[in-house]
Amino acid sequence: LGGSAMAQEKAEKPAALEKQASAKNKNELPITAEREAAVMTFVQQNHAELKELLNHLRNNRRKDYERAIRELSRDAERIGQLKARDAKQYELEIQAWTIKSRIQLLAAHLAMGDKEEIRSQLRILLNEQMDVRAALLKRERERAQDRLAKIEQDLSRLENERQKIVENQLQVLTKS
């Protein structure tokens, strides 16, 4: 009896692991021709040098390529959603993404061979990254201040017109 329970437990473990892997794969974005094309367009517009690396990965390291396409697709979609809502935020996010991507590419080159020229380029990019981060935080602060001003305005209206608002709501409720 104990042996058959152990055998059943062993049989259930691979099935459970398979379900976890299947669930994980469902959460991953599928790699479609449209997604690849969108990513390549995004990369071409914002960091053309990365396209060469992606082509290399596609031909030599397919899993890394697919992971990169998924990550880049998420980035492109997240940043793209900002375009219609907040053009200033969109531009800053594009700058931040481009700098981050260039830093990652230079860091990979640095890993292949430590050169002072690469270190110098990285230092410049890291300073640019700090500038963009500061600009993003300032933009966030502006939006928070605007939101706070609106809340203050709404609160003031509520406090100043409290009785009028209550009477209007009472009329609406008693009419229906």
pLDDT in tens, 51-81: 988 998 889 999 999 999 999 999 999 999 9
Q: Tell me the C-alpha distance between 98 and 58, whole Å.
A: 21
Nearest to 128 by CA among 111, 106, 161: 106
Torsion over CA: 154, 157, 160, 161 (sign) = negative
Whole-number pLDDT of residue 27: 56
Whole-number pLDDT of residue 69: 94
Looking at the chain, the whole-number percentage of residues with pLDDT higher than 70 is: 85
Looking at the chain, the whole-number percentage of residues with pLDDT higher than 90 is: 68
Q: Decide which of 122 and 12 is more confident.
A: 122
In the structure encoding, which two tokens stand for residue 89, read together?
């935020």
